[in-house]
Amino acid sequence: MKKTIISVFVIALALTFVAPIPVEAKTKSSTSYSTSKSKSTSKSKSSSKSSSKSKKKTYDPYDADKYSSADDFAEDKYEEFYDYEDAEDDDDAYDAAVDYWNSKNKTKNKRK
């Protein structure tokens, strides 16, 4: 008698860990739902990827975006160009700073 009860208990315990067999009607409705959901998810992912590409900003070690003109930028940054960009003298460094500001602000200059 004890062996029979233990056997039934072991079988019942084993069945709780077995995955349930899906019912035919349940499978059809969940398939159509999951298909439509995956389509809308893929659309939102692709649109978020394209918008994140346009928002990416490149690193600018001199913060050229903060200046409204090339001369203002060069006045503040020509010493750094002299030290780090191998300019021969202050005038060369100033010109390099102006050229750098102009290269970073090409799109701003085209809009005006």
Q: For 106, what's the count of Cα atoms within 13 Å in the CB-facing half-sphere?
A: 4
Domain ranges across the chain: 23-50, 64-111
> In which band, very low, low, confident or very high, does the pLDDT at 13 lie, cut at 50, 70 and 90?
low
pLDDT at 53: 54
DSSP letter (8 states) at residue 68? S
Distance CA(60)–CA(101), nearest Å, equals 11
- What predicted TM-score, i.e. pTM, was given to this entire model? 0.46
Alpha-carbon dihedral angle through residues 61, 62, 64, 70, given to the nearest 10 degrees = -150
Q: What is the pLDDT of residue 55?
A: 58
